[in-house]
């Protein structure tokens, strides 16, 4: 995932052809100050995927490609709590970064960049990184006996074998790359609206909406919008409308300074209440599932879940603004690494888990070993990826020459510019497995409250 970085040297200064800026960019420029806390929150959300997805091997509530011999319900409760806000946070951060990206790019430039940095890694990962995961899933969960080579050349990795909300049984799957695919689709759908939001008239309306969201009473409005987005039927299983709402809300909240100022001011009560409601939502899943579908009480539980999601995000943004609004060598490194790390990490986890769960060791020791091995191998692979132009392209990274120019410009000044990609985050998470093939519905009609780890 890309960091929000300083402007590059002007094309005119380098003798390259100067493309006219979009009308939106000419109307509303990006702010002069970097929002380093946006970068930090994305990096931390992606890093959270390591404990999250390694714990998926040990939780009792959802299937996964590989499972330990003994699984834990408390681990399931912990992962369900994280699921309330983790992926939503990454979509909000992606939307916020898109606001600044469209201030420096035309809509065509933005979509071209999305194609290169989202669609290329998605297609590459779909045929290179996901098959190892589903092959081990087929071996572990379905008793598949064919070799990996046979799995590929026979086309078994493309067979539809989705069940129990996931691609954990062998065959076709999106794995954790569902997030990248969802971001690409959302970019295609929303770019006309968001580019309009950078015009004078559209910007005025967006800033008015942003001020509404900034007031604590507006947080309930955000929860209602999330409820509506999640209630819209999505045949893909990606919950695209729900994540689209989060993406647009992320765009809107940075249209003016009021939202972040209030997030800073009310960060502690927002996070406290949000965490409390998230715990309540997770603790009442059983009661929720026993209620009639779309009944008033079930709708009430769903609204509580959505309010919990938004309040935790508000609190995290506020604490990020307070304590993370600074740069460092660690941020420079991790900011560039977070997107390739997101793409690589789950494949490493699944392969390592296949061997580690068979060790004669306690489950806590197995988990710790899996965590350490996964982090070490993922970053070792990233070190290879970042050094070669072809692999940088396949993993959605900027060209080496572009990176060097950005660092030179960064010494002269800073500006928020580069749009988020998964964030991962987050990643980030995120990062959590294919929502297209493993999103466990929360509301039986909409998939809202029962936001299980299966969608991550």
How high is the pLDDT of residue 432? 39
Cα 131 to Cα 240: distance, rounded to the nearest angstrom: 24
| pLDDT per residue as tens digits for the range 68-89 | 999 999 999 999 999 999 999 9
**Secondary structure class of 166 (helix, strand, coil):** strand
Q: Cβ(434)–Cβ(18) under 8 Å?
A: no
The string of DSSP codes covering 248-301 is HHHHHHTSSSHHHHHHHHTHHHHHHHHHHHHHHHHHTHHHHHHSPTT-HHHHHH
Cα 43 to Cα 431: distance, rounded to the nearest angstrom: 12
Question: Model pTM?
Answer: 0.84
Confidence tier at 425 by pLDDT (50, 70, 90): very low
Average pLDDT, the chain: 84
| pLDDT per residue as tens digits for the range 361-404 | 999 999 999 999 999 999 999 999 999 999 999 999 999 875 55
Q: For 412-431, what is the mean pLDDT?
A: 37
163 pairs with which residues across the strands?
166
Q: Cβ(43)–Cβ(425) under 8 Å?
A: yes
DSSP state of 163: B
Q: How far is CA 235 from CA 183, 216, 232, 256, in A?
A: 17, 34, 10, 35
Q: For 107-120, what is the mean pLDDT?
A: 93
| pLDDT per residue as tens digits for the range 245-282 | 999 999 999 999 999 999 999 999 999 999 999 999 99
| pLDDT per residue as tens digits for the range 145-195 | 999 999 999 999 999 888 876 899 999 999 999 999 999 999 999 999 988
Structure-block tokens of residue 145: 């006996």
- Residues of the chain above pLDDT 90, percent: 68
Confidence tier at 218 by pLDDT (50, 70, 90): very high
- Is the bond leading into 429 cis (omega within 30 degrees of zero)? yes
Confidence tier at 406 by pLDDT (50, 70, 90): low
> Which residue did the predictor score with more confidence, 444 or 311?
311
How high is the pLDDT of residue 27? 42
How high is the pLDDT of residue 403? 59
Provide long-range contacts, Cβ within 8 A and 24+ apart, for 212-221. Answer: 213/249, 213/252, 213/253, 213/259, 214/253, 214/256, 214/258, 214/259, 214/261, 214/262, 215/262, 216/262, 216/266, 216/270, 219/270, 219/307, 219/310, 219/311, 219/314, 220/307
Q: For 199-215, what is the mean pLDDT?
A: 93
| pLDDT per residue as tens digits for the range 120-138 | 999 999 999 999 999 999 9
pLDDT at 451 over 50: no
How high is the pLDDT of residue 10? 41
Q: For 221-235, what is the mean pLDDT?
A: 94
Q: For 30-51, what is the mean pLDDT?
A: 86
How high is the pLDDT of residue 456? 61
Angle at 186 between CA 301 and CA 34, to 5 degrees: 95
How high is the pLDDT of residue 33? 61
How high is the pLDDT of residue 436? 35
The angle that helices 240-253 and 258-265 make with each other, rounded to 10 degrees, is 90
Sign of CA dihedral 438, 439, 443, 445: negative
């Amino acid at each position: 995932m890309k960091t929000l970085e300083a402007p590059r040297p002007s094309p005119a200064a380098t003798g390259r052809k100067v493309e006219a800026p979009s009308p939106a960019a000419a109307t509303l420029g990006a702010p002069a100050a970097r929002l380093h806390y946006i970068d930090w929150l994305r990096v931390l959300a992606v890093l959270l995927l390591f404990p999250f997805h390694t714990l998926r091997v040990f939780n009792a509530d959802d299937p996964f490609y590989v499972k330990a011999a003994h699984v834990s319900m408390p681990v399931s409760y912990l992962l369900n709590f994280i699921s309330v806000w983790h992926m939503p946070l990454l979509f909000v951060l992606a939307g916020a970064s898109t606001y600044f990206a469209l201030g420096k790019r035309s809509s065509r430039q933005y979509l071209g960049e999305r194609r290169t940095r989202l669609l290329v890694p998605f297609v590459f990962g779909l045929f290179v990184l996901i098959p190892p995961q589903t092959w081990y899933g087929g071996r572990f969960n379905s008793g598949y006996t064919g070799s990996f080579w046979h799995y590929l050349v026979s086309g078994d990795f493309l067979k539809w074998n989705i069940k129990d909300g996931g691609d954990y049984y062998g065959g076709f799957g999106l794995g954790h790359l569902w997030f990248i695919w969802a971001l690409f689709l959302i970019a295609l759908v929303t770019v006309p609206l968001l580019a309009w939001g950078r015009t004078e008239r559209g910007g005025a309306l967006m800033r008015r909406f942003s001020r509404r969201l900034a007031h604590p009473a507006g947080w309930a409005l955000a929860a209602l919008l999330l409820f509506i987005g999640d209630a819209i039927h999505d045949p893909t299983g990606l919950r695209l409308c729900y994540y689209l709402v989060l993406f647009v809300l992320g765009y809107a909240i940075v249209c003016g300074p009021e939202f972040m100022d209030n997030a800073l001011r009310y960060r502690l009560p927002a996070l406290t209440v949000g965490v409390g409601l998230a715990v309540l939502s997770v603790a009442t899943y059983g009661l929720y599932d026993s209620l009639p579908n779309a009944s008033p009480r079930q709708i009430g539980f769903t609204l509580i879940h959505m309010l919990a999601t938004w309040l935790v995000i508000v609190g995290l943004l506020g604490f990020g603004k307070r304590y993370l609004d600074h740069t460092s060598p660690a941020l420079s490194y991790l900011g560039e690494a977070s997107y390739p790390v997101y793409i690589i990490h789950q494949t490493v986890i699944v392969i390592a888990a296949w061997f580690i769960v068979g060790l004669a060791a306690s489950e806590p020791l197995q988990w710790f070993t899996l965590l350490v091995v996964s982090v070490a191998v993922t970053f070792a692979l990233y070190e290879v990826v970042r050094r070669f132009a072809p692999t940088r392209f396949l993993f959605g990274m900027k060209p080496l020459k572009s990176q060097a120019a950005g660092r030179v410009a960064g010494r002269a000044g800073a500006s928020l510019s580069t749009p988020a990609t998964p964030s991962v985050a987050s990643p980030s998470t995120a990062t959590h497995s294919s929502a297209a093939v493993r999103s466990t519905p929360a509301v039986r009609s909409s998939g809202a409250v029962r936001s299980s780890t299966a969608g991550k």
